[in-house]
Amino acid sequence: MKIQGTDFEKIKTLAIAGRDYLASQGATREAYESRDVRIPRIGLAKDVLMRWRWDCMWTGTRLVKEFGLPCAYDDSHIDTVLRKVLG
């Protein structure tokens, strides 16, 4: 199932809000790639960029209260959107 329309925009909004907040706290993409020890449990992550993308989105869910995460999709569909939005 391809994520389109308002669900895509919701995930995009959440991811960008989360990315900006994490970056303001020093948790940038580069910090994740270098496995910065200040990031909790980063040593356990198999794919640090996937961890960064999902941390951005989940942080966004706490910052953007207007809507929650669409739940009709599986993880691979959501991660595809996150890769497209966050790189």
Helices (H), 1-87: 5-24, 29-33, 48-63, 75-86
pLDDT of residue 69: 65
Helix (H, G, I), strand (E, B) or coil at 79: helix
Helix (H, G, I), strand (E, B) or coil at 14: helix
Query: By residue range, what is the domain housing residue 73?
Result: 5-86
Q: How confident is the model at residue 1 (pLDDT cuts 50, 70, 90)?
A: low
* Arithmetic mean of pLDDT, 52-56: 96
* Arithmetic mean of pLDDT, 33-45: 95
Domain count, the chain: 1
- Contact 26/38 with Cβ under 8 angstroms? yes
Which pTM was predicted?
Answer: 0.86
